[in-house]
Chains A and B, each alone.
Chain A
Amino acid sequence: MAIKKFAVACYDDEEVLFPALKTVRHSGYKLHDIYTPFAVHGLDEAMGLKGTDLHIAGFIFGLCGTSTALGFISWILTSDWPLNFGGKPHFSLPAWIPITFELTVLFSAVGMVLTWCYLNQVMPGVKKHVFHPRQSDDYFVMAVELNDQTSEQEVVDFLKTTGAKETSVQIAEDSWWYGRFDKEEAYQKL
């Protein structure tokens, strides 16, 4: 979490966005993120994003579910409160497989949803800076990160040449926050 300075370019067409994105990445500027009103196919590859590791988390959550179910059921039915079901042995694995399967699915599903929310910073109540209000309507908004060495004007001029309809320089929190945002002072310092 940090407060940073961004150059923001808004495009009104994805056919302009893709070449612009290529130019920006090629020129060596640090891309922060792109906000689009809908899912654009191929944008993640064009941005150079890596494939997600969410499924590995899912596998681990699933293993947790399997071991929770097997551990808990076998503890109850063999030592804590053994019951006789139709003369079956107390440790009767086949009867537990369905429950084990359900808990595996439950743990991995719920765990993956929560992990996904964490990775995408979309939990109820979590807030993020909005670079342009039209990013959820008809604008494709690209945010480029600036630092001490980059000249604002140079970047903005460069973004305009890539076909941006609107450009601006904004100081903003780059990550998410929870509840009221009171970092005005930090903004003033920059």
Chain B
Amino acid sequence: MNDRFEIPASLKRTSMALILIGIITLVAGAITLLGSADIHDKTRFWVILLQNSVYFLLITVVSIFIQAAAALAQGSWIVAYRRVPEAIGANVWVFSLIAVVVMFLIVFTFNINGHNPVYPWVNPAGDKILEGKSSFLNPKMFVGFTLVTVILWSFFGRKFRSLSLAQENAPKNSTKIYWQFFRLAGVFLLVYALTQMSTTPWFWTMSTQPHWYSTMFSWYTFASAFVSGMSVILLWVVYLKNQGNLELVTKEHMHDLGKFMFAFSIFWTYLWFDQYMLIWYSNQPEETVYFKLRQQGSYSVLFYANIVINFVMPILILMTRPSKRNYFTVTFMAMIIIFGHWVDFYQAIIPGPLGSHWHLGWYEMGTFALFVGILIFTVSRTLASASLVPKNNILLKESIVHLS
């Protein structure tokens, strides 16, 4: 069986080219945007970096979450391709590092006349609402929560990978590592609930518009990240299958991933609509300011495109069973979903700092390419470093005969 993945030269070239494009974009951005006299250009440079680094960090952490969730449910369906989420999860530290550097640079160095356009709460003086929130929204808390979060995520990502690799050399039918993984998975879910599902979106994205708040926001961000994270896993599985690896993965497993993409697109819509309808119904000025900016200004294109791409397309295209078992439709929809939720993050983060001065141009696309390149580069290296079949895993046999 072909259980070793050798990185094809084409993939290596692609990832290198994407990273190169990204670095050129960053350098060009630093010269033209950061060097510009216009405040909005400077803000655009930072806020796009923030959006991309947070988006890619959150969708890679989903790979750790799905391993933990499957382990706690004792699910065997993931085992046939679990090396993929493991490899993505083991590289969370890369994206953590990038996100931390970007966010700390924004918090500590970005200052225009005593005002931080991306995170206005950094200088709360003179703003009553921000002064009231300053015991929570302040640089010290931000740094503390961020560091604890990313260190825990990076640790669990690498720990899960190493435990799973250790299982290969463990005595046959030994369940010691299995239960160790099980216990750690429970701990990780707790960590994840207290970070991704509550505090991190408050600090990282919601605080770009610190006057506004929503109790749904973290769940909404989680749903967004989860569905695109599953799409990333699916793209890797399809790619590895096309390379002749992952022979144990069948249409049944693809059907499972397709179901996740379908179901969680609906879940995302549910949370999106919950947040929207409650704010629309109660109609309080301090809450409606979020949607007024997005639905009625120049962002209305993105606002409606967001629903079409992330709800209408998945529900219509992925609804039938044959479409979830068809490699073309699931791959196409995975790309659409990843792009769609990137747009979702864009319209959540950008309007606060940039207002109507936004462009979707070369800088946004180049930064996106940089992160895609890093994702391909790091994950392919991790995938190639070990066997793609989790031999000796006690659920492997169950996973092979799995029926969706």
Contacts and interface: CB of A to CB of B under 8 A. Distances in A.
A97 B277 contact: yes
Contact of A55 (B273, B283, B320): B320
Nearest to B281: A95
Report, nearest first, the 7 A-B pairs whose CB atoms are least far apart. Answer: A94-B277, A94-B280, A97-B273, A95-B281, A94-B276, A97-B277, A86-B283
Contacts of B280: 94
Contacts of A88: 281
B281 A94 contact: yes
Interface in A43-69: 51, 55, 59
B128 interface: no
A86 B277 CA distance: 14
A86 to B, nearest CB: 7
Interface residues of B, number: 9
Interface in B282-324: 283, 319-321
Contact of A59 (B277, B281, B283, B319): B319
B150 to A, nearest CB: 37
Contacts of B276: 94
Interface of A: 51, 55, 59, 86-88, 94-95, 97-98
B168 to A, nearest CB: 32
A94 B269 CA distance: 13
Contacts of A97: 273, 277
A95 B277 contact: yes
B317 to A, nearest CB: 13
12 contacts: A51-B321, A55-B321, A59-B319, A86-B283, A87-B283, A94-B273, A94-B276, A94-B277, A94-B280, A95-B277, A95-B281, A97-B277
B377 to A, nearest CB: 41
A95 B281 CA distance: 8
Contacts of B281: 86, 88, 94-95
Given A86-B283, A87-B283, A94-B281, 15 more contacts: A51-B321, A55-B320, A55-B321, A59-B319, A86-B281, A88-B281, A94-B273, A94-B276, A94-B277, A94-B280, A95-B277, A95-B281, A97-B273, A97-B277, A98-B277
A55 B319 CA distance: 10
B316 to A, nearest CB: 10
Nearest to A87: B283
A51 B322 CA distance: 11
Contacts of B273: 94, 97
Contacts of A98: 277
Nearest to B277: A94
B315 to A, nearest CB: 11
B171 to A, nearest CB: 34
A91 to B, nearest CB: 14
B64 to A, nearest CB: 32
A36 to B, nearest CB: 19
Nearest to A51: B321
A55 B280 CA distance: 34
Contacts of B320: 55
Contacts of A94: 273, 276-277, 280-281
Nearest to B322: A51
Nearest to A86: B283
Nearest to B270: A101
A133 B39 CA distance: 85
A150 B141 CA distance: 86
Contacts of A86: 281, 283
A87 B282 CA distance: 11
A83 B281 CA distance: 15
B282 to A, nearest CB: 9
A55 B321 CA distance: 9
Interface string B252-291: 0000000000000000000001001100110100000000
A70 to B, nearest CB: 15
A130 B283 CA distance: 64
A43 to B, nearest CB: 15
A94 B277 CA distance: 6
Contacts of B283: 86-87
Contacts of B321: 51, 55
Contacts of B319: 59
Contacts of A87: 283
A55 B324 CA distance: 14
Nearest to B320: A55
A97 to B, nearest CB: 6
B193 to A, nearest CB: 27
A138 B277 CA distance: 56
A113 B283 CA distance: 41
A150 to B, nearest CB: 37
A161 B370 CA distance: 70
| Central interface residue in A88, A94, A95, A98, by most chain B CB within 10 Å | A94
A59 to B, nearest CB: 7
B399 to A, nearest CB: 18
A87 to B, nearest CB: 8
